[in-house]
Amino acid sequence: MKAASNNADYKFRVETCFLPGQYPLYAQDMGIVVVIDILRATSAMVTAFDCGVKSIIPVSTIEEARQYIGRPGYLAAAERNGEVVEGFPFGNSPLAFKQADLKGKTVVMTTTNGTKAINLARDARKLVIGSFLNITALTDWLVKQDDNILLLCSGWKDKFNLEDSVFAGAVMEKLLDSGKFGLEEDSSIAAKYLYQTAKENYLSILKAAPRRKRLEQLKLVDDVKFCLTPDQSTAIPELREGELVLMTP
Amino acid sequence: MKAASNNADYKFRVETCFLPGQYPLYAQDMGIVVVIDILRATSAMVTAFDCGVKSIIPVSTIEEARQYIGRPGYLAAAERNGEVVEGFPFGNSPLAFKQADLKGKTVVMTTTNGTKAINLARDARKLVIGSFLNITALTDWLVKQDDNILLLCSGWKDKFNLEDSVFAGAVMEKLLDSGKFGLEEDSSIAAKYLYQTAKENYLSILKAAPRRKRLEQLKLVDDVKFCLTPDQSTAIPELREGELVLMTP
């Protein structure tokens, strides 16, 4: 187990915020915010870009998303409590996105946790989307940035969740190893430790959590495995004028 | 590293809540609440009872505490940002309590985090005070209770903190090992993992945290070491009609 060492001469900070509700306490001086909702919103967003969507509009309410049902060029997606909201063609399943024809379309999406986190942090200088699917592409990009970075976990209904925190810890470890970034917050140290504990076997650790058992009951085992498999994508979605678009290098 | 196994046939739950602000999300069905503020409020409270105080009245504001300065039979204690508030004889230093004559007195106390957590949870069926000082006495008592238990971390200015979470993980491990208790929350799993990571060396892990460096600057190294040393006490303070008193077996 590595010590909780910090880089004494770091230039920038990388921090983890465990909950959207805590964002205001962590946002100060943070130029880049990475929004994380591993199960499943941000995993679905990365997948959607790989399937050729033009943009994703994250909205907070089901009513906002409902206006786009059936509108040409748009796909409406709404998830609450892990299930597709009645009347919507999509929820937040990345595998469902993979099976659909998304090319050139705009997805309007509302989810229990992830789109809420995006909307909270929408005034950040730069907001990008993180998931295990694009983790290496994302960290390779992050490590080149000259700015403070906040990893914002979406949680589960305003509560701490394990998969977002473990993912944040994975990103933290990579950025801290570069020597360019350091940390100040206890939550950042905890995320790093959780990742070090979990990294040999995400699946078994995350499956042991009672909430994941609920996902199993919802027959989402394949979705969960997909969301926890790293490096399936090099897409980095970023927020521009209220819409997520693919970052161009 | 132990797996995040749960007890399939548990009768009661033991859960960890990382932040006072999250208490309402975790409080349902919880009969016993353990309030935790390792650095330093709950450590100081346990110490105060060992020094013979009759009771401790936790108050939220400095103004409430100030009314007791100089009043016979009372000792007023107020801490903000790790320092004794001007005009008060005590803050939240357990070592300062040890050096004072507290016998038979009532301490009126307000602190940055701990007394806030106590007041939030004051309607719990039973509220007790936890610290490394009384950890074995506390867990021995908890394991005999037929009720759900919530470990409520006080955090640091509404943010997650490491020492309270590690302590919660230590209590969780003991109660889970009994087979009588199980868990449902991701935060509880995380606390257990953090403790498993930290248990070989609390001091070095907690000292590495930047906030602890601030405590060092405040010349609180001895206080921190004292607060992280387990089993110095068998006192279990409990809340009765708004006052903390010593639990009688």
- Please state the ipTM of this predicted complex: 0.93
pLDDT, average across residues A70-94: 95
Report CA A172 to chain centroid distance, whole Å. 14
A144 found inside a domain = yes
d(CA B199, CA B225): 15
Residues belonging to chain B with any Cβ–Cβ distance to chain A shorter than 8 Å: 1, 3-6, 18-19, 21-22, 25-26, 156-162, 165, 183-187, 189-190, 193-194, 196-198, 204-205, 208-211
Q: What is chain A's alpha carbon radius of gyration, rounded to the nearest angstrom?
A: 17
Q: In what order do the strands lie in the sheet with B237-240?
A: B83-84, B74-80, B106-110, B55-58, B243-246, B237-240, B126-130, B32-36, B149-153, B12-17, B181-182
Query: Which range marks the domain in which residue B53 is found?
Result: 12-246
B218 has a pLDDT exceeding 70: no
Contacts with B169 from chain A: Cβ below 8 Å: none
The string of pLDDT tens digits covering residues A112-139 is 999 999 999 999 999 999 999 999 999 9
pLDDT at residue B221 in the model: 82
A195 found inside a domain = yes
Question: Which among A31, A43, A16 has a CA at the least distance from the CA of A176?
Answer: A16
Report CA A220 to chain centroid distance, whole Å. 18
Helix (H) or strand (E) holding B26: helix B23-26
**What's the gap in Å between the CA of B49 and the closest CA on chain A?**
30
Task: Pick B236 or A2 by higher pLDDT.
Answer: B236
**What's the gap in Å between the CA of B72 and the closest CA on chain A?**
41
Subunit contact B184:A159, Cβ cutoff 8 A: no
d(CA A151, CA A128): 10
- Other CB atoms within a 10 A radius of the CB of residue B1 amount to 13
pLDDT at residue B200 in the model: 83
A5 has a pLDDT exceeding 80: no
pLDDT, average across residues A184-213: 83
* B31 close to B126: Cβ distance less than 8 angstroms: yes
A39 has a pLDDT exceeding 50: yes
pLDDT, average across residues A85-93: 96
B125 has a pLDDT exceeding 50: yes
**Which residues contact residue A166 at a Cβ distance below 8 angstroms, ignoring those fewer than 6 apart?**
A191, A194, A195, A198, A199, A202, A205, A206
B2 found inside a domain = no
pTM of the model: 0.94
Subunit contact A204:B165, Cβ cutoff 8 A: no
pLDDT, average across residues A61-68: 97
d(CA B38, CA A234): 44
**In chain A, pLDDT over 90 holds for what percent of residues?**
81
Contacts with B5 from chain A: Cβ below 8 Å: 208
Task: Pick B161 or A206 by higher pLDDT.
Answer: B161
Subunit contact B186:A209, Cβ cutoff 8 A: yes
B141 found inside a domain = yes
Give the CA distances from residue A48 to residues A45, A57, A84, A120, A155, in Å, rounded to whole numbers and listed in that order.
5, 12, 16, 22, 21
The string of pLDDT tens digits covering residues B148-195 is 999 999 999 999 999 999 999 999 999 999 999 999 999 999 999 999
Work out the burial of residue B54: count CB atoms within 10 Å of its CB; fewer than 13 is exposed, 13-18 middle, 19 or more buried: middle
Contacts with B186 from chain A: Cβ below 8 Å: 156, 159-162, 209, 211
Placement of tokens 């998303």 in the chain: A65
Give me the amino acid identity at A54.
Answer: K
A179 found inside a domain = yes
Subunit contact B204:A159, Cβ cutoff 8 A: no
Domain containing residue B117: CATH number: 3.90.1560.10
Subunit contact B196:A197, Cβ cutoff 8 A: yes
A202 found inside a domain = yes
Lowest mean pLDDT among A152-156, B75-79, B125-129, B218-222: B218-222
pLDDT at residue A211 in the model: 66
The runs of H, that is alpha helices, within chain A are: 23-26, 41-50, 62-66, 94-98, 114-120, 135-142, 162-177, 186-198, 202-207, 210-217, 221-227
> Tokens representing B83?
């320092």
Helix (H) or strand (E) holding B46: helix B41-50
d(CA B220, CA B7): 40
Count of structural domains, chain B:
1
pLDDT at residue B2 in the model: 41
A230 has a pLDDT exceeding 70: yes
Q: Residue A40, preceding bond cis, omega within 30 degrees?
A: yes
A147 has a pLDDT exceeding 50: yes
pLDDT, average across residues A147-160: 96
The one-character DSSP state at A123 is T
**Which residues contact residue A217 at a Cβ distance below 8 angstroms, ignoring those fewer than 6 apart?**
none
B5 has a pLDDT exceeding 60: no
pLDDT at residue B197 in the model: 87
A226 found inside a domain = yes
A130 found inside a domain = yes
pLDDT band of residue B24 (cuts 50, 70, 90) is very high
What are the residues facing B129 on neighbouring strands?
Answer: B35
